[in-house]
Amino acid sequence: MVRTFRRLLLIVSIVFSLGANVAVATTPPDTTPPDSIVGNSITDDTVNDFMDLERDVTTCISSNPLPGCGREPTSPGDRGGWQQLLLFAIMIAGMAVIFVRVYFSVRSRDRSSN
């Protein structure tokens, strides 16, 4: 009984693997762009609110950007704005609460075990 089940499982897995390979190789994907994209003309506007930098863009792309590669925050949601600083303060306060609770629970556990 176990041998027939294993044989049946082997046959089913072979059939599915062959069927998957045939399905992948039948039709290539359509790589032509839609008409709405082809008809649009691209403007040559170089002004970008997000890239208002003092340096060349190629020198600013790195894990440690040089000074002058950023911009001052102009809205509350920007990097370095008050919302980001408030979130940082809330996270530090939450971690402090967790640390204090763990400290006092370990302290009370040690007192009760003595």
Average pLDDT over residues 80-106: 93
SS3 call for 105: helix
Q: Which has the higher per-residue pLDDT, 41 or 110?
A: 110
Q: Is residue 57 part of a domain?
A: no
Selected residue with higher pLDDT from 39 and 33: 33
**106 assigned to some structural domain:** yes
Buried b (16+ CB within 10 A) or exposed e, 95-111: eeeeeeeeeeeeeeeee
Look up the domain containing 111 and give its range.
74-114
Query: Do the domain assignments include residue 111?
Result: yes
- Answering whether pTM is above 0.85, one says no
Would you state the pLDDT for residue 63? 81
**Total domains in the fold of the chain:** 1
Q: Report the pLDDT value the prediction gives residue 53, as an integer from 0 to 100.
A: 64
